Amino acid sequence: MPSTVLPAAPTRGALRPLGLDEVDITGGFWARRRHINETVGLRHCRDWMERSGWTGNFRAAAEGRVQQDRQGREFADSEIYKLLEATAWQSASGSAPDVDVTALVGAVAAAQEPDGYLNTAFGRPGQPPRYSDLEWGHELYCYGHLIQAGVAEARARGGSGGELAEVARRAADHICATFGRGGIERVCGHPLIETALVELARLTGEERYLAQAALFVDRRGHGTLADGEFGRVYHQDDLPVREARALRGHAVRALYLAAGAVDVAVETGDEELLAAVVRQWEAGVARRTYVTGGMGSHHRDESFGDDFVLPPDRAYSETCAGVASVLLSWRLLLATGEPRFADLAERTLFNVVATSPAEHGRAFFYANTLHRRHRSAVPAPDTVSPGADPGLRAPWFAVSCCPTNVARTLAQLPAHLATADDHGIQLHQYADARIATSLTPGHAVALRIRTDYPADGTVVVRVDRSPSDRPWTVSLRVPAWTAGATSWLVEPDGTRRTVAPGTAEVTRVFRPGDEIRLELPVRPRWIGADPRVDAVRGAVAVQRGPRVYCAESVDLPDGLDVDAIRVDPAVDPRDGPDPAVDTVVVDGRLALYDPRSTAYDARRDEPWPYRPLDAPTAPPGSDRAEITLVPYHSWANRGPSTMRVWLPADDR
């Protein structure tokens, strides 16, 4: 019987997900990140929500004093739900996170009203009425996270779940009664309820939740929300989902909406709707995505920019947009089986999701800039960041959506590594891991994956369990980033062959102990951008495997800042001397500018930064230098620094 411990459990689709009881990450990059999340991150979030008063809002609501005592923004409830979801998935991997879930769930349940309504910011005496501000109130968005948490609780403990799942079902019934046909025929300003209701339908088998989700998807784009400063596009309310041509508007909203639309399309067999989302994803990836996989280039409204508007120094690339992108790509992968979706998920996981949390797990990036020009002051460890300063990670934010979103993503990550179908197992993401499942009843298989990916490109897949009498298939994603270099596959019999980007398959009657070896060309390479990405013209980046690298001022001599760097793309980048620290070395020049010139000085600097080309001046010169780069996700862990991903090519 297939696992039910699944973050997403579509009833149809090309691939079948594996559960958190079937996949275990046993070592390496993601095991370290998950360990920090389990032992530090979850508790960090819980403590800050206690301290900020957000958990107390539920108690205040139950006790009739929420009007005067409520703390936090209108969507603060959702943070508790995301923490509960994260805790559920983490516990499904066999750990016991140090967060008192029972008390939290009890407080949430006690705040639910008899008709199923649950939100601490609306509807009680002295508060705005229920659903009086669908544009900005986030009520249905909060339900979405509540339902996802309830589903997680049920799937993690089995059966129909416990108290939280029951709260979620009551909320969903209230939503169907309130927002069904003939009810409030509008949508929420922040999508999420769509994908949550579909997952609840999958859990419970209740078709009405799916029908309500489909209603929400089809209602959007018809202007049921008021127009505002950022335009209808901000809420994706400018065009119906089926008609839109690209991911657009507020990035997190756009990606959650797309995920919900995929879920509805899969469950209802709506190929037109699925194709519409794929088309938007394609356009968004081809023209509106940073080399890190980050999405959203506008700070003002946290939104996608126009095609090719991707300024590195003003990248918003919100952590939550990275999470949402991973969740969307995962759904598209399950629906279609196409490796391009796993390619983007990998890029986004390593370069956005992994970048947000500090190494110690107690501070987070909200925005993930690709270029930082000045050194930020270190935020005090006990202060809430009012905004999203992209220079240093902060322990908590006034709008603190990102920490809990990272937590729930890391907690469910093992489920994203592999899938199955009747004929075999498909490996999508590489990590040191164990996989054990049944392809069909009685056809149990187990794999042991050994790798130091992404530092190293060798992935060894050992078959630990296999039926002795029938062939099956191990599929391995050959990442798109290998294009132009050579990947090798070594079969159990020693046959060695090159494999192209896409999917490599080995089909045979496996014996326990059989090994498949995938050798991916993990070496640093220069990357260039489409010439229409104006903001990085004349600059190059370095990628090594799935990871984007950056220059950080702490690795430069003489107090120089990264804007002094000019690189020579004619010389290949190479691995740093110490394989333990994942650095890359490139050739170039430094000290193009006086290191003291980080602030304007009238005695040394030009008074106007533009000059006629027919009155040229000689550029300042300097000797050649070797410049050390580090993985982008690791930046800003060594104190205030300047940083850049795109490095100007030397034009001397």
Phi and psi (nearest 5°) for 436? -140, 120
Q: Which of 50/572 has CB closer to a second copy?
A: 572
Interacting residues with a second copy between 232 and 261 (CB under 8 A): 245-246
What is the four-CA torsion angle of 310, 313, 315, 316, rounded to 10 degrees?
-150
Give the residue from 150, 149, 136 showing the smallest Cα distance to 225. 136
Do residues 290 and 317 touch, judged by C-beta distance below 8 A? yes
Give the residue from 346, 345, 333, 504 showing the smallest Cα distance to 419. 333
* Other residues' Cβ atoms within 10 Å of the Cβ of residue 475: 22
Dig out the tokens for 621 from the structure. Answer: 């010169």
Q: Which of 111/535 has CB closer to a second copy?
A: 535
Interacting residues with a second copy between 471 and 510 (CB under 8 A): 480, 483-485
**Is residue 646 near a second copy by the rule CB under 8 A?**
yes
Q: Which of 310/323 has CB closer to a second copy?
A: 310
**Is residue 291 near a second copy by the rule CB under 8 A?**
yes
Element (H, E) at 447: strand 444-451
Stretch that binds a second copy, among 15-23, 383-391, 490-498, 574-582 (CB under 8 A): 383-391
> What does the DSSP 8-state code read for residue 649?
B
Q: Which of 155/371 has CB closer to a second copy?
A: 371
Q: Which of 309/460 has CB closer to a second copy?
A: 309
**Is residue 321 near a second copy by the rule CB under 8 A?**
no
Q: Which of 75/472 has CB closer to a second copy?
A: 75
Write b or e for each residue in 370-395: b if 16 or more Cβ atoms lie within 10 A of its Cβ, otherwise e: bbbeebbeebeeeebbeebbbbbbbb
Instruction: For residues 386 and 379, give the distance between their C-alpha atoms in angstroms, rounded to a whole number.
Output: 11
Interacting residues with a second copy between 331 and 370 (CB under 8 A): 340
**Is residue 401 near a second copy by the rule CB under 8 A?**
no
Phi and psi (nearest 5°) for 594? -55, 125
What number of chain residues touch a second copy (CB under 8 A)?
A: 81
Cis preceding linkage at 454, omega within 30? yes
**Is residue 559 near a second copy by the rule CB under 8 A?**
no
Quick one: 163 exposed, middle or buried, by C-beta within 10 A (0-12, 13-18, 19+)?
middle
Least distance from a second copy to the Cβ atom of residue 407, Å: 24
**Is residue 157 near a second copy by the rule CB under 8 A?**
no
Least distance from a second copy to the Cβ atom of residue 612, Å: 5
Dig out the tokens for 36 from the structure. Answer: 């920090």
Among 65, 497, 532, 574, binds a second copy (CB under 8 A): 532
Least distance from a second copy to the Cβ atom of residue 291, Å: 5
**Is residue 279 near a second copy by the rule CB under 8 A?**
yes
Among 64, 158, 386, 557, binds a second copy (CB under 8 A): 386
Q: Which of 100/306 has CB closer to a second copy?
A: 306
**Is residue 136 near a second copy by the rule CB under 8 A?**
no
Dig out the tokens for 564 from the structure. Answer: 């002094």
For residue 647, list its beta bridge partners.
Answer: 540
Interacting residues with a second copy between 604 and 633 (CB under 8 A): 605-615, 619
Least distance from a second copy to the Cβ atom of residue 429, Å: 18
Stretch that binds a second copy, among 306-314, 455-463, 489-497, 499-507 (CB under 8 A): 306-314
Instruction: For residues 574 and 565, give the distance between their C-alpha atoms in angstroms, rounded to a whole number.
Output: 17
Give the residue from 124, 121, 163, 156 showing the smallest Cα distance to 142. 121
Among 126, 159, 182, 531, binds a second copy (CB under 8 A): 531
Do residues 31 and 287 touch, judged by C-beta distance below 8 A? no
Least distance from a second copy to the Cβ atom of residue 99, Å: 29
**Is residue 230 near a second copy by the rule CB under 8 A?**
yes
Interacting residues with a second copy between 10 and 69 (CB under 8 A): none
Among 537, 574, 624, 638, binds a second copy (CB under 8 A): 537
Strands 371-372 and 496-499: unpaired
